[in-house]
Amino acid sequence: MDLFEYQGKSLYQSYEISHPKSVLIKNLNDLEKVNTLNYPVVVKAQVQVGGRGKAGGIKVVNNYQELEDSANAIFGMDIKGHKVEILLVEEASEIYEEYYISFTLDRSEKKYLMMLSSKGGMDIEQVAKDTPDDLIKLHISPSEGLIDKDLDNSILNAKLNQEYTVELIQIIKKLFELFVAGDCDLVEVNPLAITSSGVMALDAKVALDMNAKFKHENFQTLEDEIPIPEEEKYAKERGLNFIKLDGSVGIIGNGAGLVMSTLDVVAEHGGNAANFLDIGGGAQSETVSAALEVLETDPNVKSVLINIFGGITRCDLVAEGIVKATKGKNLKWPIVIRLDGTNALEGLDILKNNPNENIFISENMDNAAKLAVESGA
């Protein structure tokens, strides 16, 4: 579960991770709270998407009038489909240097992965692409933890300011403690900055492993604060595993692994998925109908790819669900279907006997993804 910045910084407090003093603003009446801070302050839109600054969702203000003007402008702003309903206002920092650091899990290595760079405050993907030597990677054994010598070498190799090595080590260790003890999937700080007040985490991008929810009472509180998109509410009510994404190709599959692979193949053909939608094993025709109804609520969807590999799931039942959901309708987008596995031939016969000019059948996943991307362009 991805957290808002202000939620991530609330976790920082529990682990004594230095960050700017701030207040949370939920409406314009809350602006009086900012009197507890020293100007200049930074007004930050709280949305679970990157690019806030470029969209005008981050402003530095020097007095109350500027604060009021900026808050009025940012509240209600749409940033990549996310409506701004909460602001975080924090004291501006006098920044000397900006760094990047993150902790995540590298499943292929079965180890934690720390990434560290002196090129903070920038798009880290661009840094990795343009100057890969500026991004230091350190794999950490879960059984050994973060070893002092390895951390010292990483700070040195990343070319961070050696005068602040002691402070950098302290805050990096605390971030790692948050990552492990807090059962996080990701802890990312961009920038981790050297400021006039010392080394501070100026940002907080934290994702929680909800499989560990039973261990943390605060997980439920944090989850309750995160608004669920209407599509996700609708899907949840129908027992579907759905996550909204930013692309235009709607994805329906059975099994998380297959859906993830489908997202990757769509990306290989130059497309971007509009969602992750797993109908699960043993899906019935009603499940498929509900999945298509969920995608109909998303105006960003331009084409749909249904990728089914039948095991427990019977392809003929999937086909029946598709026919039930589309028969007699003028579909708003083309649907590309790939069926394989249990009762695939029966499923294909059902589709062929109930033709629709906007439904296309593909023999394999690669061709299906290519067609879905092209038909939605």
Task: List Cα–Cα distances, 187 to 109, 180, 181, 203, in angstroms.
Answer: 18, 10, 12, 10
Q: How would DSSP label each residue in 90-148?
A: EE---EEEEEEEEEEEETTTTEEEEEEES-TTS-HHHHHHH-GGGEEEEEE-TTT---H
Alpha carbon 262 to chain centroid, angstroms: 18
Whole-angstrom Cα distance, residue 208 to residue 2?
6
The residue whose two tokens read 């402003």 is: 59
Residues 213 and 264: beta-carbon distance below 8 Å: no
Instruction: Give the containing element (helix H, strand E) for 293.
Output: helix 285-296
| Active site members | 100, 188
The distance in angstroms from the start CA to the end CA of the chain is 31
Query: Which residue pairs, CB below 8 angstroms and at least 24 apart, start in 228-231?
Result: 230/297, 231/275, 231/294, 231/295, 231/297, 231/298
Q: How many residues does the chain have?
A: 377
